[in-house]
Structure 1
């Protein structure tokens, strides 16, 4: 497991917690993508700790007959509030590295 330092970005394998966060944001992703998502799975993530945790997650989803890859940015506050979807980057490839984006 990677060590997370305040303000830095670390790469880690997807945990059950990260997958649950992604699943909890499915409705918001559907709104942003303007389509029904039948299946989604987090593949890899990076985390940045600063007044909460910003997750940058590579996600594969199926909509209709097509599978697509996106990167999402999620913010999870420290004080027990629910995570929120900050941004989606579309048209990603499985080979694309996850990087910081605002």
Structure 2
């Protein structure tokens, strides 16, 4: 899987996926992501803050190393949140 190349463990991904099934947690994360565009997801400082905020919203204690790995992964994906194709690709990666 792509995220494992960045040092992100499958256990972390599974914990976050499980937490995202909680409707309240999902809404908190959706609020944080609302209004983001492609340039926001290519700014490393914004992505780093976003990772910290989402970790906090999900009550997930991320180490600085994990935060950095997740931020690098997001930056390297060049995600455009307005592109259906990009969103389908991400969905497939984390099914």
Q: What TM-score results when the alignment is normalised by the length of structure 1?
A: 0.28
Name whichever structure is richer in strand by fraction. 1
Q: What TM-score results when the alignment is normalised by the length of structure 2?
A: 0.29
Select the structure with the greater relative contact order (CA < 8 A; seq sep ≥ 6). 2
